[in-house]
Amino acid sequence: MSFCAEWTQTWDAPGYLSSRHFHPYAELGLCLDGCGLFFVEDRVYPFSRGTVIYIPADMPHIEENSPRRQSSWKYLWIDDRLFGGDDVLSSLPYEAVTQERSCRNMFEMLYDEVSSKKEDTVLYISLCTAFARMMARTPASNRKQSANEAREKIAPAISYIADHYSEEITVSYLAEKTHLSESTLKRAFTEATGQTPYAYICLVRLAAAENLLIHTDLPILEISSACGFNSLSSFNRQFKKANGLTPSNIRGRGEKQN
């Protein structure tokens, strides 16, 4: 069978969603309000109102709201055994994230079917198939799998970064969290993510900052501090290097959320 739920997650009240977890069923989510970051294994995806995300069964993930924000979601969990041996979701072996309106509309149709206890109908199975094919077009769904052993080694570090990227983080402390030497941690990080731990932390901070710049009216200095940058000048320099634009240039490119 399939399940559905609406969920509101606050920033300052850690809960199930903000801890590394996984489900025995495929998860579909639609962000109704708010913004933040989704961590799926070692990968990072900004989300905002209208984001649709698909996560395969048993894939570890974390939903982390942006500082001082809360988010509201609709979720669906789909048991593929419902389809009688037809592997409807086979075109989605990895996560998929999109803002496409067609995927949002399809999600809402699926949600209505499950809410109405109609998930055993031909229509529901057809909708699942169409949704999978639409989401399979997203770049994330076509990614290459990273090394399993390296990814498991750094999992505690990823979880810590997700919860504490606004704070000072040292490689030595991450090594303690993972029970690895600093050199082993650096090798595992590079193998799993293609980046050093420091570069990964910067990526997370910049992704969080860009999301806040686009979707909120918070002052740039406040965003810089909330996302873990030591100074506004450092933030401006790193942001422009990564994006080719200054924070003020990118501000307001999306629909603002309050």
Checking if the pLDDT of 134 tops 60, the result is: yes
Distances (CA, A) of 102 to 2, 13, 34, 96, 240: 22, 33, 20, 14, 33
193 burial (CB, 10 Å; 0-12 / 13-18 / 19+) is buried
pLDDT value at position 14? 57
The per-residue pLDDT for range 183-228, each reduced to its tens digit, is 999 999 999 888 999 999 999 999 999 999 999 889 999 999 999 9
The predicted model gives 163-175 an average pLDDT of: 94
Sorting pLDDT into bands at 50, 70 and 90, what band is 253? low
Domains of the chain: 2-142 (2.60.120.280), 148-250 (1.10.10.60)
pLDDT value at position 16? 58
State how far the Cα of 61 lies from the Cα of 183, in Å rounded to an integer: 26
pTM as predicted: 0.86
The per-residue pLDDT for range 47-60, each reduced to its tens digit, is 999 999 999 999 99
DSSP string, 129-198: HHHHHHHTTSGGGGPPPPPHHHHHHHHHHHHHHHHHTTS---HHHHHHHHT--HHHHHHHHHHHHSS-HH
